[in-house]
Each structure stands twice: as structure tokens, then as C-alpha cells.
């Protein structure tokens, strides 16, 4: 069995995918916080902070790959975002390079592209349009994974995750939802596919209302099993409880785009595509 490091292991997404991953891999779980209460078979615990380069070197030593969910997972001030998501990501990638760990799965986010209007279909060939400092850190993450693939021969996958859960939470999530089983399928492609260099894929299930062209994932064999539309009534009922948002409802990134917005709404919405 391969040994795979999972960062952010005490978080919500990790909690949903660990039971599926540990049937196929020996997991080395890591987080800066407390260990998950439900450690299972094939799981061992290593408390470590991404900002500690020495701890990252020890963490990845002897592993076959890394699933990097760790770091700041929502919008925050620059210091809070940059320490784990910029410096920390650099630390763990450098540790992988030094220790010969060749596979790296990066949890990117839809928020790297959040300022694309909902009416636009986007793929992996358009320029990034981050919707906050968190989104900027995810665009940086994709760039540094590309660098480590090109310059150091690593095999990386950046998954632009939509929203992970057992059901979509609102109308926006009907377009971007990702069932944990489909996320695990993408991760296993990233860990195993022989031809990956740096793949950018969308972390989305088979959603009828998708805004994303996920050809890059499908060409690697991704066949999502879940469809947000099967949970349509639940999502629409939840949406009815949420107030309308003049900015957030127009863009793919939702509330992240309206947070602190004092720009030119018409220009942001109608800007000519860069490509
Ligand atoms: C993300 O990237 C966040 O980590 C998650 O908490 C959600 O906000 C998600 O995006 C989303 O866009 O729904």
C-alpha cells in the first residue's frame, strides 16, 4: 500500500474523504490543530504546521504522495491567508522535492475564477479571476504546482474544488457541487495516472447546471457518479431562506465576490474575456 500524506486532516472535507481513501492507501494525517477523534485503520497522526519548513520535511519523508487540503480555506486578511497558503505551500512543495515525493494533489478552489459571471462557461484555458485574497492564494498555488512539475519533474494535480458535501446547499451549489466520492475519484486519478504533468481540473460532480468545461478531467478518465439536480428541491428550499445579494448572485464565486466590493459592477460583469 502506498503511503499518502493528507494535510488539513482535521477539517470537514478530510473527514468526508478519509473513510474512502484509507481503504486503498496508508494515510499519514496532518493538521496544525488537534487530531481527528475518529482515527481509523491505515491512519497515523502527525501534528505539524505548514509554516514550519522542518516539520514539512519530516512529514513527507518516505511518502509516495501528498493530498494538500491544508491552509486557510475561506477569505481572510492577507497575513492569515499568506502564511499557510503562500509560505506554507512553498514549504511543503519544497519538502516534497527534497525528499523525492513525486505526486502532489493541490486543493485549489473555484474562487481562483470567482469573478467570472455565472452566465459564462469557463474551462482551464481562461485567465484566472480571483474573487478575494483567498482566491489569489489558490491561483498562486496552481502556478507553483506548475513550476514544480516543469522544473523539478513532479506530477501535480490542481483541483478547482466547487463545494464538497453530501448535498448542494443552495442554488449556486447546484452548479458547483462535488460529492465526496467524486472528489476521491479525482484524487485517485491524480495519485495514479501515469501521464499527469500538472493537470488543472474542476472539482465538480456531474451537475446539469455546471458553469465549467471539465474536459481536462474527463480526458484523464474522470466519470463523476453524482448529479446535484437529484437534490434540487433541497437546494432551492435552502436558497429561499437566504437574502438576495446584488453582487454575489451575479458571479460564480457568490458571496466571496460581494465581500468588500466597491468596484464598477457593470464593467466587472461585462469585461471582454481576456482570452
Ligand atoms: C471554498 O473554496 C471554501 O473552502 C468553502 O468553504 C466554500 O466556501 C466553497 O469554496 C464554495 O465556494 O462554496
Cβ of 252 below 6 Å from ligand 1: no
Rounded percentage of the chain residues whose pLDDT exceeds 90: 98
For residue 78, count CB atoms less than 10 angstroms from its CB and return exposed for 0-12, middle for 13-18, buried for 19 or more: exposed
Phi and psi at residue 226, in whole multiples of 5°? -115, 150
Say if residue 274's pLDDT is above 70. no
d(CA 115, CA 192): 32
Hey, what's the cell of 117?
A: 459571471
Residue 73 beta carbon below 6 angstroms from any ligand 1 atom: yes
pLDDT at 275 (0 to 100): 53
Q: Burial level of 23, CB count in 10 A (0-12/13-18/19+)? A: exposed
pLDDT band at residue 154 using 50, 70 and 90 as cut-offs: very high
DSSP code string of 22-59 = TTTSEEEEEESSPPPTT--TTEEEEE--TT-HHHHHHH
Q: Is the pLDDT of residue 173 over 80?
A: yes
Q: Which among 12, 132, 163, 245 is the best mutation to test ligand 1's pocket, defined by most ligand atoms within 8 Å of the CB?
A: 163
Q: What is the mean pLDDT of residues 34-57?
A: 97
With the most atoms of ligand 1 within 8 angstroms of its CB, the residue from 8, 11, 74 to mutate is: 74
Instruction: pLDDT band for 273, please (50, 70, 90 cuts).
Output: low
Check if 222 is active-site: no
pLDDT digits (tens, 9 = 90+) for 184-214: 999 999 999 999 999 999 999 999 999 999 9
Task: Specify the pLDDT at position 31.
Answer: 98
Mean pLDDT of 223-240: 98
Strand order in the sheet with 26-31: 43-47, 26-31, 3-7, 65-68, 103-109, 155-161, 198-203
Give the pLDDT score at 272.
75
Domains with residue ranges and CATH for the chain: 3-270 (3.40.50.720)
Q: List, for residues 52-106, the tens digit of each pLDDT value.
A: 999 999 999 999 999 999 999 999 999 999 999 999 999 999 999 999 999 999 9
Q: How far is the CA of 92 from the centre of ligand 1 (A)?
A: 22
| Whole-model pTM over 0.75 | yes
Amino acid at each position: 500500500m502506498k503511503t499518502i500524506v493528507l494535510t488539513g486532516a482535521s477539517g470537514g472535507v478530510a473527514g468526508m474523504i478519509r473513510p474512502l481513501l484509507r481503504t486503498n492507501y496508508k494515510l499519514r494525517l496532518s493538521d496544525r490543530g488537534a487530531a481527528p477523534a475518529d482515527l481509523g485503520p491505515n491512519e497515523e497522526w502527525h501534528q505539524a504546521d505548514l509554516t514550519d519548513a522542518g516539520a514539512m520535511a519530516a512529514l513527507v519523508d518516505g511518502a509516495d504522495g501528498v493530498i494538500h487540503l491544508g491552509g486557510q480555506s475561506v477569505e481572510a486578511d492577507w497575513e492569515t491567508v499568506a502564511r499557510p497558503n503562500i509560505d506554507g505551500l512553498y514549504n511543503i512543495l519544497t519538502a516534497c522535492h527534497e525528499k523525492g515525493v513525486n505526486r502532489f494533489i493541490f486543493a485549489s478552489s473555484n474562487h481562483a475564477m470567482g469573478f467570472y459571471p455565472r452566465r459564462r462557461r469557463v474551462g482551464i484555458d481562461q485567465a484566472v479571476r480571483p474573487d478575494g485574497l483567498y482566491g489569489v492564494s489558490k491561483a498562486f498555488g496552481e502556478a507553483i504546482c506548475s513550476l514544480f512539475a516543469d522544473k523539478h519533474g513532479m506530477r501535480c494535480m490542481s483541483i478547482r474544488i466547487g463545494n464538497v458535501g453530501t448535498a448542494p446547499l443552495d442554488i449556486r451549489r447546484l452548479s458547483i457541487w462535488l460529492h465526496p466520492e467524486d472528489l476521491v475519484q479525482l484524487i485517485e486519478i491524480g495519485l495514479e495516472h501515469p501521464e499527469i504533468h500538472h493537470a488543472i481540473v474542476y472539482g465538480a460532480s456531474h451537475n446539469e447546471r455546471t458553469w465549467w468545461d471539465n474536459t481536462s478531467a474527463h480526458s484523464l478518465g474522470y466519470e463523476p457518479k453524482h448529479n446535484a439536480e437529484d437534490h434540487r428541491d433541497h437546494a432551492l428550499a435552502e436558497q429561499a431562506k437566504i437574502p438576495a445579494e446584488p453582487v454575489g448572485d451575479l458571479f460564480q464565486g457568490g458571496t466571496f465576490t460581494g465581500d468588500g466590493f466597491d468596484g464598477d459592477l457593470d464593467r466587472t460583469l461585462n469585461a471582454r474575456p481576456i482570452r
